[in-house]
Amino acid sequence: MTPPTALATEEARTRLHELIIIDVRTPGEFAGGHLPGALNIPLDRIQRALPDIRHAAERGDVLVVCASGARSENACRVLAENGVTAATLSGGTGAWAADGHELHRPQGTSRATWGMERQVRLTAGALVLLGLLLGLVVHPAFQIVSAGIAGGLVFSALTNTCGMAAMLAKLPHNRPRTADLDSTLAALRDR
């Protein structure tokens, strides 16, 4: 399958008013800052939202966004497999902000939310340290935990997927409430 079309940040900025922007990051990441007018449909909810996304794509071009571009590419592939054409933002919201474009935050968002990549780095690092510490203090077999995490990180890099991120996305602060997703899908239908 061919890779999805990618828009540079400047091209996306000039077309912002005509694009249907779907942010596939977790609700916590979305709350930390998103493109103006973006709707939050986390990657693991794309299948549920397919009928509404398909309907929206009939009315305008769809731009899928994430933090760096990896999750949005995966979402674009899922959409393409289901007959929906979508583009991804090159470099994601990180590139958008680095190019000096404004990120919007929902009203009432007071605390900083960690992005998924940062959550993965913290969890992986903590598990590696825990495995090494338990290997020194309790039993050397605990070093297998550290080796397992290292193997998972290599596999993640080679496949451009992340099982740990998928698991962390299921934590309550990373999950949309059903009412939030329903209201997002209703807003998508109105576009």
| Phi, psi dihedrals of residue 37, rounded to the nearest 5° | 80, 0
Q: List the 61-65 sheet strands across, edge first.
A: 5-7, 86-89, 61-65, 19-23, 39-40
Rounded (10°) CA dihedral 60, 66, 69, 70? -110
Asked whether the beta carbons of 25 and 184 are under 8 A apart, the reply is no
| End-to-end Cα spacing for the chain | 29
Active-site residue flag, 66: yes
Q: What is the C-alpha to C-alpha distance for residues 16 and 7, in angstroms, rounded to an integer?
A: 11
Q: What is the C-alpha to C-alpha distance for residues 186 and 136, in angstroms, rounded to an integer?
A: 54
Which of 66, 87, 116, 181 is the catalytic position?
A: 66
Q: Which residues are catalytic?
A: 66
